Amino acid sequence: MGQEAEKEERLKAFKGYQVTEALCREGGANTNWKFLHCLPRKEHEVNDEVSSV
Amino acid sequence: MTLADLSSSQINNIVSHAHHLKHISLPWLSPQQRGVKTPKLRMPSQSLFSKSIALLFSKRSTRTRLSAETAAILLGGKALFLGRDDIQLGVNESARDTARVIGGMCQGVFARVGDHSEIEVSPTHLVCVPCPNTERITQELAEYSPVPVLNALSSLWHPTQVLADLLTLHEHASMFSDLGESTKNHNPKRLPQLSPLRPLTVAYVGDSANVLHDMLVTYPRLGHKLRIASPDDPKYRAPNPVWDRVLELGCDASIWWGTDPREAVRGADLVVTDTWYFASPRSH
């Protein structure tokens, strides 16, 4: 699979998978939830308002 | 090759020992941050004295290489960095021969010979090439090496990342505790004990990759629950060799796996993710 097709397929498959404050609020995470990422973190995976442990 | 190979008490001992070594080592690493009064420096155990450790890396790395080389120095040893352009591994020489040659002169191997996908640059664009061979190379190294081989990352597993995550969680245990800061050890003369971590609900949102695989075989055995969301396609689920280890260890009872990220984060104390999208790491 070419790079563009792979990128497109992944973006579609992972739609809604970005970790955000809203996702965790709506999903009912513990109000004091923490975020952990092994770095480098990317905007697609988690937006910038979320800070790490 | 994975934390599935260790018992939960062995894992706890490693994390606890890492905490101890980190506490002793940090003042050596930040002399410029010393106050006016020089603190007493304690020498970390020189357990690698006169030993050399081969760092077998097939791809570039910032954190893993820096931390491994620094650790070897602090423990009195020497790290030999052997990158993909430095040795013949996988090109002209089998993993078996490489393991024997290295084992004849080094006393340990720290191997990072693969990733979920290797990202290669072609003249026109980046392509993601799945590398099923990398797991085999790591296993062969371990099988034929006369000296210990530690997995610094393979296509299926990433045990050192999960050990580092556990240390981070223990260091921040008070964040998850109702007791707050009072659980911290305030006596500066004594080495701080590793703070106990209460059982957590850990959500993972993303692709089934090597970090998650080691979480699957580790967190449940340490009393934590896992809630995972990955897209509805077998290629985003844990492959059979991983799930076999999960079942063997009875970890599946503490794992919920679905496709909705919202459901996955329900009741989560901790939310984890990892790369699922290969953004261009370098411009062409």
Contact B267 A30 (CB under 8 A): yes
The distance of B267 to chain A (nearest Cα, Å) reads 4
Query: Total domain count for chain A?
Result: 1
- The complex's ipTM? 0.95
CB distance B164 to A26 below 8 Å: no
Q: Judge whether A21 lies within some domain.
A: yes
Which tokens sit at B12?
A: 């706890």
pLDDT at A6: 85
Positions in chain B short of pLDDT 70: 31-39, 90, 114-133, 179-191, 278-284
Between 1.10.3720.10, 2.40.30.10, 3.40.50.1370, 2.40.50.140, what CATH number should domain B199-277 receive?
Answer: 3.40.50.1370
> Dmax of chain B from CA atoms?
60
Q: How far apart are CA A10 and CA B117, in angstroms?
A: 14
Which residues on A lie below 8 Å from B231 (Cβ)? 13-14, 17
pLDDT at B127: 38
Within a 13 Å sphere around the CA of B216, how many CA atoms are in the beta-carbon half?
Answer: 27
Contact B265 A29 (CB under 8 A): yes
CATH 3.40.50.1370 domain position(s) in chain B: 1-25+48-190, 199-277
Task: Provide CB contacts within 8 A for B108, sequence distance 6+.
Answer: B51, B53, B54, B147, B148, B149, B150
Task: Write out the catalytic residue numbers of A.
Answer: 38
Q: Judge whether A28 lies within some domain.
A: yes
Is the pLDDT reported for residue A50 higher than 50? yes
pLDDT at B59: 78
Q: Judge whether A12 lies within some domain.
A: no
pLDDT at B9: 97
Q: Judge whether A25 lies within some domain.
A: yes
Contact A30 B269 (CB under 8 A): yes
**What class is the B1-25+48-190 domain?**
alpha beta
Q: How far apart are CA B191 and CA B195, in angstroms?
A: 12
Which tokens sit at A10?
A: 């992944």
CB distance B230 to B237 below 8 Å: yes
Q: Judge whether A4 lies within some domain.
A: no
Q: Judge whether A47 lies within some domain.
A: yes
pLDDT at B112: 92
pLDDT in tens, A4-24: 888 899 999 999 999 999 999
pLDDT at B37: 63
Among the partner-chain residues B127, B168, B263, the one whose CB lies closest to the CB of A27 is B263
